[in-house]
Amino acid sequence: MSQTLRERLLNELDTIVLIDPHTHIDPHQPAARTLADILGYHYYTELAHSAGMLRSDVEEPDLAPREKVRRLVAHLEPLQNTIQYSWLIDIARSFFGFADEHVTRDNWEGLYDAAQRTLSATDWPQQVLRRSGLEAVLLTNDFDDPLEGWDTSVYVPCLRTDDLVFRLHEPAVGQRLAAVTGVDLASPRALREALARLFTRFTARHARACAISLPPGFTPIPICASRAETAWDAICRAPQQCGEDERQTLAHFVFWTLAELCADFQLPFDLMIGVHRGVYRGGVYQGQDLYDSRVSLIQYGELFNAFPQVTFPVSVLASVANQELTSYAWIFPNVVTSGHWWYSNTPAYIEHDLAARL
Amino acid sequence: MSQTLRERLLNELDTIVLIDPHTHIDPHQPAARTLADILGYHYYTELAHSAGMLRSDVEEPDLAPREKVRRLVAHLEPLQNTIQYSWLIDIARSFFGFADEHVTRDNWEGLYDAAQRTLSATDWPQQVLRRSGLEAVLLTNDFDDPLEGWDTSVYVPCLRTDDLVFRLHEPAVGQRLAAVTGVDLASPRALREALARLFTRFTARHARACAISLPPGFTPIPICASRAETAWDAICRAPQQCGEDERQTLAHFVFWTLAELCADFQLPFDLMIGVHRGVYRGGVYQGQDLYDSRVSLIQYGELFNAFPQVTFPVSVLASVANQELTSYAWIFPNVVTSGHWWYSNTPAYIEHDLAARL
Amino acid sequence: MSQTLRERLLNELDTIVLIDPHTHIDPHQPAARTLADILGYHYYTELAHSAGMLRSDVEEPDLAPREKVRRLVAHLEPLQNTIQYSWLIDIARSFFGFADEHVTRDNWEGLYDAAQRTLSATDWPQQVLRRSGLEAVLLTNDFDDPLEGWDTSVYVPCLRTDDLVFRLHEPAVGQRLAAVTGVDLASPRALREALARLFTRFTARHARACAISLPPGFTPIPICASRAETAWDAICRAPQQCGEDERQTLAHFVFWTLAELCADFQLPFDLMIGVHRGVYRGGVYQGQDLYDSRVSLIQYGELFNAFPQVTFPVSVLASVANQELTSYAWIFPNVVTSGHWWYSNTPAYIEHDLAARL
């Protein structure tokens, strides 16, 4: 791509005001408070750890922000050829007036203090949205998030459902669901009622999507009522002893029910397909997951056929799955491409249809 | 790639007169009769459907060509950033004198009429071949196609064998095979005789290839005579009740027999590997198929070893399989790269060896 | 990439003096003796064979080098558009003063003689290392290689372990291991002792890596002592009759033991993941292998977790696995990217950490 074409494309992109369809932002504290919130993000901690920094160096309890930055900066040099590092420098220059080529042991304190002055401004969260060309961001909300205390037209709730689909066999998760919905989870029918109440509560608070991340082997299928009951009974009787089979039946039942509720409540169902959780057990916070290239969207064919009225924004984590995703979006009217996993390092963009609904 | 290099490559490509190794052209009516034959091709109908057009809008029985184009044009706008749309504009400009930037609700009738004048020329099929740099095209012929009534040196027959390999357990397919060959299909030996007669008839009509599309999980293996007999007997006795096992055995037997006949009759065996048929059940005509990236040519290793005298032009549908295909073509003398699936949007080209045989 | 950027990158690369982490060089005869040693390499023989040359033409016993080159040159024309051919021309120009555009039936004898004059220089092996910017190369040594008779600081030993992991159920391999270590292989414990003696001997001779190539389906797991004993007993009692299960158990036991010894002896463990051996049975020497794209590094997750103190330089054979490898190297401190398989045609490079250890 020629330099001229690049500039033309980037200039056009700059004119677009975006809605970010997937963030982990805390709406009560949406912007960084210190440079440690930026440099302490897993984009940097996992690279620094991979290049030799001890996990305990940045995960020490009650570590002061300034000290955290000091320790991370000591491990930045091997990261200077990464795109993440270039983003750090861009952020430092664009927002904090940084003028040097690199952040080093010798100049980081000046940067830290400059950042502090900028980040302390009362309207900083509004400033950073405006300067980033963002008019709103979708959050990642636990199903029992109270959803109170912020402007939901800017920080838009999104019902994240990994716990419901993959961990409802754990008594603690069931108790949380019962507590927040007031439903006695005696049967799959009651489960469905509890899930429906979540949708009612979330949409009343202007939620715009239901979302989930899925392991590479998952293949959604409908579960008949009697099979769901047998599995749920076994899990309720002896949660510790129930087998993989019951857990999977429950996962399939809950997933399919969520898709039905997305249809009923006219919410898009965001699918982030292909993640293995906790692969590197010694990894830093949020730096333990990896993906698997051996995944195909054919696993979701029945789902896409069964719910033509539900929009499925789909992200695939492996770049090798991109062509399949493009083809599915081209063939299925209800499948749209989405994309936001950090291993790909490609900026997220919001699909037109989803933006129009917000 | 620099603009200069692009132009140099395109100019060189323009000098080549091609034989297209795979088309679905009707040799009795080889060129478009109206603009509806072009815009009604699945390249456009599936994109328009994915962008919101109802399938019934273009698949209404007895829909007049002009009305079909009117309806499709109403859904072209969201397609303006696709390569398929740019091909449409190129065709309109190159062949029909179209001068506008876009085809819209306001100008399509002029284009329709201009196309009509051009397409009505008696020698239009010859003109379009010549202007496209094509000296011949291979067809896709059912095994019971009479192969009569056209110039087979320009519209070259190709024996398409999907029905024989994957649907011979259906009584209707067996009856068609018996009818066209005059063979009583009482045994696998008789089956082989019937297939041989197809090859005799097709090669007598100048067929230059045997071809098949294959699902991603297919792995060719030879089937011993007794196993083939057991399976065939079970299928003939009770076609509705026979199991997946018998059907697969029959598929493997027929496929391997076709490879043997390719060797006997010196025909290349075109393999189009990786398609799932009918994934999107609500899709438009020819817009229901998708592919699966999880495929490897190792599945064909035994076949390539067993038939060194047969040339296998291979297409893989997923771009991620291209490197494997290149490597197999590099290692196996009898494997050659081919390529022509629309999801890749790369023009087909004919392998030198195959062109030389024609 | 612009021409200027390419040149800048290539000039920077030219300044680096490398250690090649993987070669099949014979340290007793490290450089080519005639042009036949270059043109007879499988990079050229497999392409020439795929383009029509008979295997027997180049694998005839006692074939004279000049005659071998004559026969290969006769099949070079169809290879002129390959990167391998361009390397041949580059070698001919850079080292042998070749001035023509192509090597043909008419000019090859001049090139052969020119090469002969250059290759006969007593210090040619040193010259070619210096002019190639190489200070050392790692070898591929059988476990019973005597490792005597060369400068191991330039031709660095590397313990290749494919035979130990995948063929120890063959009595001949066990006998070689017993002979070279002096250990009676009566039990898995004795096996471990024998393997440890190999590590002692190799590291005493300055070996810098343990290496292995692995089929795509291999997933390392630890084997408990009693299961290892059962399998080893069955194999020792009746090596011909033991089943796939015992062989796999033995392979897993040996592989995991090698990882433990890499930890004990502080050797990196080079993993070359994804090769199918002997796919094309009629192929030329070293031209029979292919790979499988359907592989994931998740198969190695437990290994990487279990041995944080071992560095694993990993090569993946399919380009589609590159993104996974990059991500694993980014997340796991002990995983580093390596790369050297000819189907990718990308030059090998040595990971910094490994280079520092040498």
Q: By C-alpha distance, which of B175, B168, B176, B170 is closest to B145?
A: B176
Under the banding of pLDDT at 50, 70 and 90, the label for residue C340 is low
B293 interaction partners in chain A (CB closer than 8 Å): 296, 320-321, 323-324
Residue B118 has pLDDT above 60, yes or no: yes
pLDDT at B347: 31
Q: How confident is the model over A282-333, as pLDDT tens digits?
A: 999 999 999 998 999 999 999 999 999 999 999 998 888 888 998 999 999 9
Spatial contact of C236 and C281, defined as CB atoms under 8 Å apart:
no
pLDDT digits (tens, 9 = 90+) for A166-198: 999 999 999 999 999 999 999 999 999 999 999
Average pLDDT over all residues of chain A: 92
- Whether C321 sits inside 8 A of A293 (CB atoms) is yes
Contacts of C305 in chain A (CB under 8 A): 279-282
Chain A residues near residue B290 by CB distance under 8 angstroms: 297-298, 301, 324, 327-328, 331
Q: How many CB atoms lie within 10 A of CB C218?
A: 21
Instruction: Find chains touching chain C: ≥3 CB pairs under 8 Å.
Output: A, B
Provide, as residue numbers in chain A, all residues whose Cβ is less than 8 Å from the Cβ of B3.
Answer: 2
Give the burial string for C275-298 (b: 16+ CB within 10 Å, else e).
bbeebbeebbeebbbbbbbbbbbb
Distance from CA of C6 to the nearest CA of B (A): 12
User: Taking CB atoms and an 8 Å limit, are C293 and B327 in contact across chains?
Assistant: no
Q: From chain A, pick out residues whose CB is under 8 angstroms from the CB of B288.
A: 331
| Model pLDDT, residue C242 | 77
State the pLDDT at residue B345. 54
Q: Does A299 touch chain B (CB under 8 A)?
A: no
**A324 interaction partners in chain B (CB closer than 8 Å):** 290-293, 318
Q: Which residues, numbered 55 to 74 in chain C, qualify as contacts with chain A under a Cβ-Cβ cut-off of 8 Å? A: none
pLDDT value at residue B2: 65
Looking only at the bridges linking them, the beta strands covering C275-276 and C290-291 are antiparallel
Per-residue pLDDT of B180-226, as tens digits, reads 999 999 999 999 999 999 999 999 999 999 999 999 999 999 999 99
Residue C307 confidence (pLDDT): 98
Say if B44 is an interface residue toward chain A (CB within 8 Å). no
Q: Could you give phi then psi for residue C16, rounded to 5 degrees?
A: -85, 130
Residue in A2, A294, A298 nearest the CB of B279: A298
| Residue B292 contacts A where some CB pair is shorter than 8 Å | yes
DSSP calls for B135-199: EEEE--B-TT----SS-TTTEE-EEE-HHHHHSTTSHHHHHHHHHHH-----SHHHHHHHHHHHH
pLDDT band at B352 (very low <50, low <70, confident <90, very high): very low
Q: How confident is the model at residue C245 (pLDDT cuts 50, 70, 90)?
A: very high
The list of chain A residues with pLDDT below 50 reads 346-358
Is A138 part of the contact surface with chain B (CB cutoff 8 Å)?
A: no
Q: What is the nearest CA distance from B222 to chain C, expressed in angstroms?
A: 17
pLDDT score recorded for residue C354: 36
From start to end of B194-348, where are the E strands? Answer: 209-214, 269-273, 275-276, 290-291, 312-316, 335-337
pLDDT of residue C230: 95
Edge-to-edge strands, sheet with C312-316: C158-160, C209-214, C269-273, C312-316, C335-337
pLDDT > 90? residue B308? yes
The rounded mean pLDDT for chain C is 92
What pLDDT does residue C241 have? 80
User: Do C332 and A50 make contact, defined as CB atoms within 8 angstroms?
Assistant: yes
Q: Does C282 contact chain B (CB < 8 Å)?
A: yes
Q: Is the pLDDT of residue B354 over 60?
A: no
pLDDT at A340: 60
- Interchain CB contact of C281 with B (< 8 Å): yes
User: Could you give the 3-state DSSP secondary structure of residue A270?
Assistant: strand
pLDDT in tens, B20-70: 999 999 999 999 999 999 999 999 999 999 999 999 999 999 999 999 999
- Whether residue B308 lies within 8 A of chain C, CB to CB, comes out as yes
DSSP code, position B277: T
The pLDDT of residue C1: 57
| Three-state SS annotation for B59-101 | HCCCCCHHHHHHHHHCCCHHHCCCHHHHHHHHHHHHHHCCCCC
Per-residue pLDDT tens over the stretch C25-37: 999 999 999 999 9
Nearest chain C residue to A291 by CA distance is C324
- Report the DSSP pairing between strands C312-316 and C335-337: parallel
Q: Within an 8 Å CB–CB cutoff, is residue A50 touching chain C?
A: yes
Q: How far is C54 from chain A (nearest CA, A)?
A: 37
* Residue of A284, A320, A324, A342 to mutate when probing chain C, most C C-beta within 10 A: A320
| Per-residue pLDDT reduced to its tens digit, C286-334 | 999 999 989 999 999 999 999 999 999 999 988 888 889 989 999 999 9
Chain B segment 323-352 residues within 8 A of A by beta carbon are 343-344
Check CB contact of A230 with chain B, cutoff 8 Å.
no
pLDDT at C2: 65
With pLDDT > 90 as the criterion, what percentage of chain C qualifies? 84
To probe the interface with B, which of C275, C279, C295 has the most B CB atoms within 10 Å? C279
Q: What CA–CA distances, in Å, run from B19 to B132, B135, B153, B203, B259? A: 11, 6, 11, 18, 23
Instruction: Work out the burial of residue B102: count CB atoms within 10 Å of its CB; fewer than 13 is exposed, 13-18 middle, 19 or more buried.
Output: middle
pLDDT of C356 > 70? The answer is no
Confidence band, pLDDT 50/70/90 cuts, at residue B355: very low
CB C272 within 8 A of CB C319: no
Task: Tell whether the model's pLDDT for residue B349 goes beyond 50.
Answer: no
**Which chain B residue's Cα is nearest to A3?**
B2
The rounded mean pLDDT for chain B is: 92
Question: Is pLDDT at B348 greater than 50 in this prediction?
Answer: no
pLDDT tens digits along B262-286: 999 999 999 999 999 999 999 999 9
Report the pLDDT value the prediction gives residue C83, as an integer from 0 to 100.
84
β-pair partners for C211: C160, C270
Q: From the list B320, B321, B331, which residue is nearest C290 (CB)?
A: B331
The predicted pLDDT at position A61 comes to 95
Kindly determine whether residue A308 and residue B46, on different chains, have CB atoms separated by under 8 Å: no
CA gap B175, C289 in Å, rounded:
44
